[in-house]
Amino acid sequence: MVIAAPASGSGKTTVATGLMAALRQRGLRVSPHKVGPDYIDPGYHALASGLPGRNLDPWLVGEERVAPLFLHGARGCDLAVVEGVMGLFDGRGESDFASTAHVARLLDAPIVLVVDAARQSRSVAAVVHGFATFDPRVRVGGVILNRVGSDRHEELCRAALGEVPVLGVIRRDDAVATPSRHLGLIPAAERESEALAAVGRLGELVARSCDLEALVRLAATASPLPDGPWSPAAELHGGPDTARTVVAVAGGAAFTFGYIEHVELLRAAGAEVAVFDPLRDERLPEGTSAIVIGGGFPEVYADRLAANEPLRKQVAAFDGPIAAECAGLLYLCQELDGLPMCGRVPGAARMTDRLTLGYREAVSGTSLLTRAGERYRGHEFHRTVVEPPGALFSEGGGHGDALVTASYLHLHWAGTPELAGRLLTPPRSRWR
């Protein structure tokens, strides 16, 4: 089932994460998914379900891969919960492309609409009616009312909704709030025990506030999908044998943004993936042949990253392939907010008050992963700038050479699986 809402801030993450935790507590194996490019919500989904959180984004991977990626993640599970993004019909630009409604149509899945009932009563019914009838291709199977103030408030909302199934009523509860910062929620990996406790509270909240049996019955009404599951091995088309290649992937609190399919593609190519923490580890994993540094919040940990001089120097001197996105770009710069970083790419990075956010369609220059003139669909999400910005991509800037691709552009390798092969077999000969 798809958990959607009329707008951001209505309670989708509360309901979706709590529902995953509550159903898991009842012995169900729940597959967690998130519409769009978001990295943070899937971290909480993973804690709630015990499985990797996965993204479903038609813009990043193509419409044709959404259902196969869903089936790949949901294999062996009893039920799948898909958390939407923004309002139900909010997509890229003037269309609903890459919206929650778009993904629900691609999956032919029923929708549970989470409505923030604060400061309204009968008007809830008008909101639900509008969303249920706006596009006949999507099916709103029921409503969860959030932030209901009292028994009387609930009675008024239910009476106005009439025959619309009310699958849950969640009372106002500030105790379940999740801390946030300048780019949204704080990633679960940064909070550890606090995040686990928060997810536990969300599970208890949903379990006592929602009709879990009715929700499971609604999910069972989803139509079978004709597609087969996505296969990372098949995407590689019998790529090179890299059985002894060790790919070091940055992790820890500073680098929490990454798609699990990247790791699955690398492993399918025969690589060994070893996670390292630039905040704590003074050396790269033994035998490292390539490095992947994804997104996150290095600006929050700049002092600790700078203090780990042994690792910074090793990365700077590393004579192998490096793929870096956003936070990874900042880490490879000469400095971040005046503190020394790795110096592997030219430029100084700093925090700003300006948010850069949105989908991008970019033309690339030549680098480790890219070839001149190729077009890529990606996403930007940051409040930093790098000077000089670089021009590897027409959108997202960045720097590249024979062994490095580093930019602000977040890419989903399931949409461009050849990138995994290029990381593992860099064409040095073309650059000599």
Beta-strand relationship, 246-250 and 272-276: parallel
CATH architecture of the domain covering 232-431: 3-Layer(aba) Sandwich (3.40)
CA distance 260 to 103: 19
- Indicate the pTM of the whole model: 0.93
Assigned token pair, 220? 């069972």
Domain segments of the chain: what residues? 2-219, 232-431
Please write the tens of the pLDDT for every residue from 361-382: 999 999 999 999 999 999 999 9
Beta-strand relationship, 339-340 and 335-336: antiparallel
Please write the tens of the pLDDT for every residue from 99-115: 999 999 999 999 999 99
For the chain, which residues score pLDDT lower than 50?
180-184, 429-432
CA distance 48 to 42: 10
Contact by Cβ (8 Å): 221, 104: no
Q: Is the dihedral of CA 24, 26, 29, 33 positive or negative?
A: negative
* pLDDT of 363: 98
What percentage of residues in the chain have a pLDDT greater than 90? 88
Catalytic residues: 326
Please write the tens of the pLDDT for every residue from 314-343: 999 999 999 999 999 999 999 999 999 999
Closest to 113 in 3D by CA, of 92, 96, 130, 95: 130
Beta-strand relationship, 399-401 and 404-407: antiparallel
> SS in 3 state form for 74-141?
HCCCCEEEEECCCCCCCCCCCCCCCCHHHHHHHHCCCEEEEEECCCCCCHHHHHHHHHHHCCCCCCEE
Same fold, 2-219 and 232-431: yes
Q: Is the dihedral of CA 301, 303, 306, 310 positive or negative?
A: negative
Q: Provide the residue type at 76 as one letter.
A: G
Backbone Cα Rg of the chain:
22
Residue 288's H or E segment, with its range, is: strand 288-293
Q: How many residues does the chain have?
A: 432
Angle between helices 100-107 and 63-74 (to 10 degrees): 70
CATH number of 2-219: 3.40.50.300
* pLDDT of 422: 94
Closest to 344 in 3D by CA, of 311, 309, 317: 317
Closest to 67 in 3D by CA, of 79, 53, 56: 56
Angle between helices 40-49 and 12-25 (to 10 degrees): 20
Angle between helices 40-49 and 193-209 (to 10 degrees): 70
* pLDDT of 183: 41
Alpha carbon separation from 291 to 36, 316, 423 (Å, rounded): 26, 12, 9
Contact by Cβ (8 Å): 170, 22: no
